[in-house]
Chain A
Amino acid sequence: MTTIIAALVGNPNCGKTTLFNALTGAKQKVGNWPGVTIECKRGEFVEKDYQVELTDLPGTYSLAITESGAVDTALASHFIFSHDIDVVLNIVDASLLERSLYLTMQLLERKTPVVVALNMMDVARARGIHIDVEKLSAHLGCPVVALEAHRRRGLLALKEAMVKLSDQHDASASRQCKPANLATVELRSASSEFAITDLSEDAALAPSRYRLIQQILAACVEQKPRPKVTRSVYLDRFVLNRLFGIPIFLCVMYALFACAMLGGGVLQPYFDSASEAIFVGGLSTVLSYCHAPLWCIMLFANGLGRGMNTMITLIPVIGTLFLFLTALEDSGYMARAAFVVDRMMGFLGLPGKALIPMIVGFGCNVPAVMSARTLEYERDRLLTILMMPFMSCSARLTIYAIFAAAFFRQGGQNIIFALYLIGIAMAMLTGFLLRKTYLRGEASPLIMVLPAYHVPRIKTLLLNTWQRLYGFIFRAGKVIVPVCVFIEVLNMVSIDGTIQVAGGVHSVLSTFGQWITPIFSPMGIEATNWPATVGLITGVLAKEVVLGTLNTLYAGMGHLSYSGMTNMLAQQFDGAIGAFAYLLFVLLYFPCISTMAAMLREMHRGWTIFSAVWMMGIAYGAAVTFYQAATFFRHPGSSVLWIVAMIVVFMSVIVAMRLLASRQDVLRLASKLTERPLSLCDVRCFKCPMRVAGKS
């Protein structure tokens, strides 16, 4: 069986993913392109004696690389032009033929073996556009196949055309597919082997390309007078209305949030108890039945099992959120939402699209970090992910609720609301500082096409959600589980070497907690309240674990009569002020390990570490400043010292960031002057994943 290497390229929103799914089924591999967090999907199918390996390239309107352009265009261009690909499958939106054929022109000029898949034939027909497919094929000089990908019509013909073309391509060195009527070919000799680099040269060709397209269209396309108002236009009159636009946006976001939280919330306890029963309880029973030593039970059941439990508990929330996010994306509303709020996010130096991950963050930070992928530019994505963990997630809410019950009997809701606002303010502060230092610049330019509305397809929804979950479980899991094992082991081993399964008062972790508690004394945690410190450490696993740890340790300390969680809290913390300082810290400190794992997958490691350190610093600074200011009259001298110290440290960190950033700017400038453009250098490093897998 011969292998054919094929690439799928086309404009955004022309049904590329639908076609890819229809061609390859569920046999897909989703990964990242080397070096960048842009999804690389590969799939395969068999046609006759050929095995076709298809790579789904990012959607793009042009293959010309621009220096500050989006990296996905550069990626598509490089992939097509610098690897020997047997067939390029160019999917074209039949209802927007003029714009779509621009990409086809660029491909044909390079004498790339192209099969044009004319998708959305039904939409074109409904709009009164009649396309003579054979004539179009003759004019373009390459096979053209009419297609309705979502109805799976035309797939067989398409597969045949691909195999046939690659056959011809193999048989003769000079390709069969010779652009017959392409005048532009004379304009440029298709000699350059690499991606189009000369910007002005490529841009100068744009008018002649469009002229040619118009000639071709005049010969092959018949446009009946089109119905005045299509369904999308009609809907947009309401959805993008100047009065209703924002209320509709808020309603949709509320619905997304309510549905996802409700759905996730209902399923979560089942996932939690089931996974605990299997991986923690079940495993330890089996192991003890086999007379395994205690350390073995502890390591596997309580360490590994607990890690699995932590991860599995997040599945319902992530799953439902992504189900709804994909539905919004697929229906065409997401682009409209970005259109509606773009101005508002402009104040934060971010495009409108960045608001959706932020809102998702209030539910759970993990899918929020993962959904930042929809942003095209690296800078926007980084900024969004770094601001995200300050959004107070629902796990943090459970902690607030218990503390509010203990300390703020009246007006607890105001305290909780204030915490949410502080989180948002800190996110904005972080964004502001980063924009002034490392991530300088304006929001990336907006060029957006609002896709036509359509009903989301179940298959797309499920497949996309599954791919996200798969990424979370098998990639993020690699970080989550070991950290859980590590912390659980520390929690169970006593300093004298014995093992206690309950995670008691004398564990290594507790001792460590007692040892570092003085660090937290400026924010009101007394040495006797060391369980609060240990809670912060275990809270790294998942923020709600703080409560479980406090409960266990307060009970284990023994000198408290067991009288309910709230009473214990009230005795241990320094009144409402101490409690609020602690809550501030819980809100702002280290993102939970699952969020960190997601961040590691989406960003450079350096940025993830920066985020963790930055959040720790902000949390400590905010909690200490608040506590000292609130208890000012108890000890004015030391309070002034602490507050001044915090402000000085904060200011010097900002100055240091500015200095480092400007040094980095100089370096970047220097490399720009001496070397080739950055974007191109980056692109040249991309390996063709298929070649590695396929032919080695």
Chain B
Amino acid sequence: MIKMSDLAVNQQARVLAFAGGDTSYCQQLMAMGMLPNTVFTVLRVAPLGDPIEIDIRGMTLCLRKREANCFIIEAC
């Protein structure tokens, strides 16, 4: 199992589940398509290393690593 903060640029990963954390945050992301079994790609990391931009369902999304760690993901 890997964490969101471990992902490198251009790496692909699959969302498996949510590991608690801020539920309203997770729900908001679910509404934007961050659902179990969805595959996403890391597009870029911000200059200072923190927010990352991912491509999910052909749409982009910027997330902070620490907050996005509430998703359980697997590399693929």
Contacts and interface: CB of A to CB of B under 8 A. Distances in A.
Interface of A: 61-62, 64, 66-69, 96, 98-99, 102, 199, 202-203, 206-207, 210, 236, 240-243, 245-246, 339-344, 346, 352, 445-450
Contacts of B22: 68, 445
Interface of B: 22-33, 35-36, 44-51, 53, 57-64, 67
B31 A62 contact: yes
B61 to A, nearest CB: 6
Main secondary structure of the interface of B (DSSP, over half): mixed
A69 B28 contact: yes
B51 A69 contact: no
A446 B36 contact: no
13 contacts: A64-B31, A99-B57, A102-B33, A203-B27, A207-B35, A339-B62, A341-B48, A343-B50, A445-B22, A445-B67, A447-B63, A449-B59, A449-B62
A340 B60 contact: no
B35 A206 contact: yes
Contact of B32 (A61, A199, A243, A342): A61
Contact of A447 (B23, B36, B45, B61): B61
- Sorted from nearest, which 4 A-B pairs have the closest CB atoms? A66-B24, A62-B31, A245-B47, A343-B48
Contacts of B45: 242
A342 B64 contact: yes
A19 B22 CA distance: 34
A447 B29 contact: yes
Nearest to A335: B62
Contacts of A346: 50, 64
Contacts of B27: 62, 64, 66, 199, 202-203, 206
A98 B47 contact: no
Contacts of A352: 51
Contacts of B60: 449-450
Nearest to B46: A339
Nearest to A451: B60
Nearest to B48: A343
B23 A199 contact: yes
A244 to B, nearest CB: 8
A340 B64 CA distance: 12
A378 to B, nearest CB: 15
A207 B33 CA distance: 8
Given A341-B48, A344-B48, A448 B62 contact: yes
Nearest to B33: A99
Contacts of A62: 27-28, 31-32
Contacts of A98: 33, 57-59
Contact of A210 (B35, B53, B63): B35
Contact of B46 (A68, A202, A207, A342): A342
Given A64-B27, A96-B58, 19 more contacts: A66-B24, A68-B22, A99-B33, A99-B59, A102-B31, A102-B33, A199-B24, A203-B26, A203-B27, A203-B31, A206-B35, A240-B44, A241-B47, A242-B45, A340-B47, A342-B51, A343-B49, A343-B50, A448-B61
A446 B64 contact: yes
A202 B48 CA distance: 36
B53 A450 contact: yes
A66 B48 CA distance: 30
Given A447-B28, A449-B60, A339 B67 contact: no
Contact of A339 (B30, B31, B51): B51
A538 to B, nearest CB: 44
Contacts of B29: 447
Nearest to B62: A448
Contacts of B32: 61-62, 99, 102, 447
Contacts of B23: 66, 199
Contacts of A236: 44
A236 B62 CA distance: 13
A96 B32 CA distance: 11
B31 A69 contact: no
Nearest to B50: A343
Among B33, B51, B63, which residue has the most Cβ atoms of chain A within 10 A?
B51
Contacts of A450: 53, 60, 62
A64 B48 CA distance: 33
Nearest to A73: B28
Contacts of B36: 207
Given A245-B46, A343-B48, A206 B64 contact: no
A64 B60 CA distance: 21
Nearest to A246: B47
B53 A339 contact: yes
B48 to A, nearest CB: 4
Contacts of A69: 24, 28
A476 to B, nearest CB: 34
A62 B25 CA distance: 12
Contacts of B58: 96, 98
A213 to B, nearest CB: 9
B30 A206 contact: yes
Contacts of B59: 96, 98-99, 449
Contacts of B24: 66-69, 199
A621 B45 CA distance: 43
Contacts of B67: 445-446
Contacts of B63: 446-447
A102 B31 CA distance: 7
Contacts of B46: 240, 245, 339-340, 342-343
A75 to B, nearest CB: 15
